[in-house]
Chain A
Amino acid sequence: MRPGRWFVVAFALVLGACSSSSTPNSASVPTTTAPPTTAAPPVVSCGEAVASYAPTGGLPSPGAMPTGSFMGQIQARGRLIAGVSADTLLFGYRNPLTGNLEGFDIDLVHQVSQAIFGDPNRVEYKVVTYAQRIPALLDGSVDIVADVMTVNCTRWQQIAFSSQYFQAGQKVLVRRDSAATRIEDLDGTRMCAATGSTNIDNLKNYPKITAVPVNDISDCMVLFQQGTVDSVTGDDTVLQGFVVQDPYTKIIGPPITSEPYGLGIARTHPEFVQFVNSVLQRMRLDGTWKQMYARWLQPTGPVPEPPAAVYGRNP
């Protein structure tokens, strides 16, 4: 027997098996969403950005999704595929103690799963970077993106959003002993932001600040703790998670921008957007939203009212 032969054959079989089963959508992903190279992001008008599709009729009973609808397809598949973050403390992060994904955004996904299946845990998570969120929706590798995603008109051109579920604003994280009180005080320093985020686009309005782009915003935290960058910019929700992890930091300034969050869904599934809007509306009304806010954001004062739904956009 030739000992070399059977190995090559066995090896080819095994490799063939594993390469054919992997999803073929990785290599070209980041280039399709390269941020515009002009000085300021193009302003696209689409009416009121947070306006979504109005729900029609009530929610179908869990487990009885209308046939032919996208919810029906999800139900037939047996699980909801959600694109989420694994390192945004409070919103979507992998709890190192349990290995499970947790956070405000993850709870939203559980709510959608509950509405489709009657079971909050029929979910397959795909961890995506900011820059991968829109491509993942476009190529159908995820059904929904719940990852601190800002609703704006530029993005409406490619994907659809649910009604707004959170109001955030972009701020800056600095060392606790920093004298800076607003972003303008940081001219001439190095500031880290995540590629594919609205945050890094907004930095173009501050040309005297050197932007340091990274793939994941938690990589900013590593660079910041190592002293490679002087500050980190991101949504206050995300930065709040960093302050929890590092007491030698603080968040400064008034918000540079308003960042309304919505759940991202492919434009080809307007009925799913309407379905999710009904789920969000129920959460606004029955107190679920306030419970989630209290659980994850732990406000010192009273829990605010949820952002009201705005409709009026037509698919």
Chain B
Amino acid sequence: MVAGWFEGTPGSLRFRGAISVFMCIIFGVAAFSGALALDRSVNGQRNDAAQLVRVESIRTNLVKADANATNAFLVGGLEPADARAGYTSGISAAARALAESAGANGGDAPVLRRVNEVVTTYTGLIESARANNRQGFPVGAAYLRQASKVMQEQALPALDSLVTGARNRVDAASRSLALPIVVIVTLLALGTLLIVQVWIFRRTHRVFNVALVVATALVLILGATAIGGMSWSQSAGKKVRQGAFARTVALATARSDGFDAKSAEALTLVNRGSGQAYDQRFVSVASAAGRALDAGVAPVAPDPAATDARIAFVQYLTDHAEVRKLDNGGEWEKAVAVATGRGAANQSFGRFERASGRAIVHQASHVSDDLDSARRPLVPLAWLALLAGLAAAAAASRGLNQRLREYR
């Protein structure tokens, strides 16, 4: 009985009917899951971008704390209240961001736990440096050096690896296969429906089967809508990656490198006359910060905060050149005065710190807002496409049944 099901002309008709219904259902399911996969991917990019900003903020705050600790030591005497406040706020902001990042991404958690341990060691060393310093013991300087070393060699490379990981995930998400699959399945479903209709026309000489035409139209219209919506969403995501996201990363890098440069400036002075290695570090991190700042300012309608950050950094470099000139000319005390407290280099760096902080917040909120709006059409489209696929399947089945009845 079953063997005879597909025999003769009615059998061929049944066979083609089954294929048409199947393809319509496949279309609906593929478009449904494709749109949802793209939605997950864009959402993943949003989360990875947010994680990247959090990890960069850990890094920046640690470097900021270290720069403040070194600068406080440089002044001599009782540490300045603002430098101490800068250190404390850097450490607590880093601790907060560490907890948030570990909660937001379980994969990053083991590395973040390790960073947390290093921060504990670091703060211990800094407190030893302070305690010795308060008693007038020069061994405090050795503790400060060791603390800086622990930070530079253990905490920062671990954080850099997480930043790279998040960037790679964002890039990988952009290579989603959802859209090409939906395009192929839609074309296959349309092709099947057209071939079946041509076959029926040849056998029965009836030009139109209304139900099959309806099924074809449903697949065509909803397929085109889903493909259009998905490609819009994908290109919106790409725009964000190349625009606000790239600028966020660049500004965060610039800020972090900027603090690193300030710390190198202070260490060059602390090591009075034999700090050339730190001076070389200054040149390399300050160049990196400059390049990153260039990338962080949008070419069209730039964020005023980002522009301010760049202007302030150029001013800081000029002031830093003055610090080096004084120190190399044997006027160490004057060099220290320019580099600390109300000195020009410290003031212009403060402007850079504030402006770059504001600019990162602006760009990061653009990233999440824009990716949110890129996601918006995907879920409704997914459900519409599924319903359309099922409706088309029902219509195709009905249309072929009409023809079959003519053979009874």
Contact = CB atoms under 8 A, between A and B. Distances in A.
B138 A96 contact: yes
Contact of A7 (B136, B294, B321): B294
Contacts of A4: 294, 297, 299
23 contacts: A3-B299, A4-B297, A8-B290, A14-B314, A18-B320, A23-B276, A89-B138, A94-B76, A94-B141, A96-B76, A96-B136, A96-B137, A96-B140, A97-B136, A218-B139, A218-B141, A218-B142, A221-B142, A222-B139, A225-B128, A245-B137, A245-B138, A245-B139
B273 A128 contact: yes
B317 interface: yes
Contact of B145 (A96, A124, A125, A219): A219
B142 A129 contact: no
Nearest to A132: B274
A9 to B, nearest CB: 10
Given A26-B280, A99-B75, A219-B145, A124 B320 contact: no
Interface string A106-145: 0000000000000000001111110010000000000000
Which 9 A-B residue pairs are closest in the complex by CB-CB distance? A99-B76, A126-B273, A26-B276, A124-B330, A218-B142, A14-B317, A93-B138, A245-B137, A127-B272
A10 interface: yes
A3 B142 contact: no
Nearest to A81: B330
Interface in A186-220: 216, 218-219
Interface residue SS majority, chain B: helix
Interface of A: 2-4, 7-8, 10-11, 14-15, 17-19, 21-23, 25-27, 79, 81, 83, 86-89, 93-100, 124-129, 132, 216, 218-219, 221-222, 225, 242, 244-246
Contacts of A246: 139
Interface string B62-101: 0000000000011111000000000000000000000000
A106 B274 CA distance: 17
B310 interface: yes
B176 interface: no
Interface residues of B, number: 51
A21 B307 CA distance: 29
A17 B314 CA distance: 13
Interface string B304-336: 000100100010011011001100101010001
Given A22-B276, A93-B138, A98 B76 contact: yes
A245 B141 CA distance: 13
A315 B358 CA distance: 66
B128, B141, B310, B336: residue with the most chain A Cβ atoms closer than 10 Å: B141
A45 B288 CA distance: 53
A86 B272 contact: yes
A21 B320 CA distance: 12
A22 B324 contact: yes
B133 interface: yes
Nearest to A244: B137
